[in-house]
């Protein structure tokens, strides 16, 4: 099985529910709660610059509106990505990928970079995010783990930067072709909705030579069960409740 340098817990979207998602404030919460790894979403601005955002629109997690793919760097710089969660986060910026990379390296945070393409930009996003990741972590001993629901984006990342580790994100239904897909991607891991996982499925994936990660696990008892089954990593929003599993 592939060497696995990542810790068991990843802080989901930076700080889980304790800070605005996909922001520097979120990464600071991960550090505060002694997490060794963070997960976050990266997509492209109109010009092709990599920045952090989960949705295809700005409305839910900023004071902006409209399609993310249409926003320029200048548009993004003007946004408040914190007030939606709490007044104390007012003025929190939408961060660019390079800013987050610098923070992670400075604070010893390993990263799971989720490639989150806007509609119709899968291959472009996979290529540019992979290239940026390789450049930003060029001197790092442990490279970020790249993941995506988009097979097109993952294939593009594979072609652009084959040395970066890749994980395939899945949601229901459980794919019958999981082994063929992982092999085709030369992936190291399968990242599953935790509700899809059974002990038999975990054992099957691991027996085939792949790691298993589960999202989004916020219940300690469920986290402990998944760990007993052999799951290699969990993404959690409940940073404050998962301390016993660090």
What's the DSSP call for residue 175? P
CA separation for the pair 243, 246 (Å, rounded): 5
CA separation for the pair 79, 8 (Å, rounded): 33
CB-based contacts of 15, cutoff 8 Å, min separation 6: 21, 23, 25, 26, 27, 28, 29, 30, 239
- Torsion sign, CA atoms 138, 20, 114, 229: positive
Structure tokens at 58: 């700005």
Instruction: Indicate left, alpha or beta for 148 from its phi (over 0: left) and psi (-120 to 50: alpha).
Output: beta
H-only helix segments in 83-198: 97-106, 122-136, 151-160, 178-185
Indicate the angle between helix axes 24-32 and 97-106, nearest 10 degrees: 20
CA separation for the pair 138, 62 (Å, rounded): 31
Q: Which residues are the active-site residues?
A: 12, 54
Judge whether 16 and 46 are in contact, CB under 8 Å. no
């Amino acid at each position: 099985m592939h060497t696995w340098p990542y810790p068991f817990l990843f802080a989901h979207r930076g700080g889980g529910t304790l800070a605005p998602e996909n922001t520097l404030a979120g990464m600071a919460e991960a550090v505060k709660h002694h997490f060794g790894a963070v997960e976050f979403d990266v997509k492209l601005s109109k010009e092709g610059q990599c920045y952090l955002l989960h949705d295809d629109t700005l409305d839910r997690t900023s004071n902006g509106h409209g399609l993310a793919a249409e926003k320029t760097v200048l548009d993004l710089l003007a946004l408040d990505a914190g007030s939606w969660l709490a007044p104390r986060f007012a003025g929190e910026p939408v961060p660019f990928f390079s800013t987050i990379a610098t923070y992670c390296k400075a604070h010893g945070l390993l990263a799971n970079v989720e490639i989150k393409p806007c509609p119709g930009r899968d291959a472009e996003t996979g290529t540019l995010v992979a290239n940026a990741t390789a450049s930003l972590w060029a001197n790092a001993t442990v490279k970020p783990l790249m993941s995506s629901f988009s097979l097109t984006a993952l294939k593009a990342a594979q072609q652009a930067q084959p040395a970066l580790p890749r994980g395939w994100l899945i949601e229901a239904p459980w794919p019958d072709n999981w082994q063929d897909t992982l092999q085709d991607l030369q992936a190291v891991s399968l990242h599953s909705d935790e509700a899809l996982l059974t002990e038999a499925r975990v054992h099957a994936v691991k027996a085939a030579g792949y790691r298993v990660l589960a999202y989004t696990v916020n219940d300690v008892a469920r986290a402990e069960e998944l760990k007993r089954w052999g799951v290699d990593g969990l993404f959690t929003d409940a940073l404050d409740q998962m301390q016993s599993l660090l």
